[in-house]
Amino acid sequence: MEKEKVVIGIDIGGTNTVFGVVDRSGRILAEDSITTSHYDEPEVFVAALYEKIMITIPKIGREVVVLGFGIGAPMGNINKGTIEYPADLPWKGIIPLAEIFSRHTDLPVIVTNDANAAAVGEIIYGGAKGMKNFVVITLGTGLGSGFVVDGKLVYGQDGFAGEIGHTSIRPGMSNRDCGCGRKGCLETYVSATGLKRTVLKILADRLEDSELRRYSFDELDAKKIYEAARRGDILALEAFEHTGAMLGYKLADVVAHTNPEAIFLFGGLALAKELIFEPAQKHMEQNLLYIYRDKVKLLPSELSTHNAAVLGASSLIWSENGE
């Protein structure tokens, strides 16, 4: 009897690294994690991660054949297999992650950034099956993006194409510092942290009652803002409207650049559903060149929310194998 083919999807985050053993249909057969921040050296981190993966695979309870390892990471570069100057990881400079990983295995190891992994995942497992032109926007702590044009993921000359989170939303008009060292980047407005910053400014500028006033800076987060908005809190609703408007304004530019069939919103902030989708759709349409109007679908990702990052990373290997 032929062994079942599986791949390993790995999502490297600043705090934790999550991995899963994934079959071709997108089922995660086994999963686990390690704490990224415990490892000061990437070589020690990879050794511990590989060991944990090898311990986890037998937990499936049947024999499988692993085709390779797909890794999504901040500032992952698919051209070089590196992570380059990641702001949120414990390691600095350029880390040759694929090379380090390949010291433990002869199987393919593919590294890319998490937004590009999500775009491939949307093709393999999600709502972009059959689409040749679409964009995935990841809305989490920051804002990432992956572009598929004429059926191919766009990587660019150095492997870093499509970083719209670090394009300016209001050139010369914003003083919001960004983790990249610049000011006024889109992700300082449109992300979980950007939403929080918007709420804090509204609370400072306005006098209306809001349940959000009871929270300290450290206590306030996007989930509490979402819950307040669902209960009709005026200032929370205004913050979502502002965030969606900023996103929609920028998506109009994205449409002009790549002429996509659809734009998928992926990640925690996208779970706010109409609170983010409605203002984003409205402001995108208002700012579109007329030849694009009423043509571009704004859709939620169809990847499983809980395991989306792992699925996205795993899809890199299926895509590479043409499975």
Residues 88 and 165 both lie in one domain? no
* Residue 121 belongs to a domain: no
b (16+ CB within 10 A) / e for 257-282: ebebbbbbbbbbbbbbeebbbebbbe
Neighbours of 221 (CB within 10 A): 14
Helix axes 308-321, 114-124, angle to 10 degrees: 70
- Higher-confidence residue of 140 and 264: namely 264
CA 88/CA 161 separation, integer angstroms: 20
pLDDT tier, 309 (very low <50, low <70, confident <90, very high otherwise): confident
> Token match 């889109």: residue?
186
pLDDT tier, 173 (very low <50, low <70, confident <90, very high otherwise): low
CA 87/CA 303 separation, integer angstroms: 26
| Beta carbons of 263 and 227 less than 8 angstroms apart | no
Q: In which domain, by residue range, is 107 found?
A: 4-114+306-321
Helix axes 274-287, 234-258, angle to 10 degrees: 50
DSSP state letter for 321: H
The pLDDT assigned to 261 comes to 97
Q: Which amino acid is at 320?
A: E
* Residue 120 belongs to a domain: no
| Beta carbons of 263 and 250 less than 8 angstroms apart | no
| Beta carbons of 107 and 299 less than 8 angstroms apart | no
The tokens for 79 are 């051209």
Q: What is the pLDDT of residues 84-130, one digit of tens each?
A: 987 678 898 999 999 999 999 999 999 998 888 889 889 888 899 99
- CATH code of 256's domain: 3.30.420.40
Residues 106 and 132 both lie in one domain? no
The pLDDT assigned to 115 comes to 85
Q: Quote the pTM value.
A: 0.85
* Residue 119 belongs to a domain: no
What are φ and ψ of residue 322, in 5° steps? 65, 25
Residues 107 and 42 both lie in one domain? yes
Strand ranges inside 150-266, DSSP E:
152-153, 262-266
Q: What is the pLDDT of residues 237-249, one digit of tens each?
A: 999 999 999 999 9
Residues 155 and 68 both lie in one domain? no
What domain count does the chain have? 2
The pLDDT assigned to 49 comes to 97
Q: What is the pLDDT of residues 262-294, one digit of tens each?
A: 999 988 889 899 999 999 999 999 999 999 999
Residues 138 and 280 both lie in one domain? yes
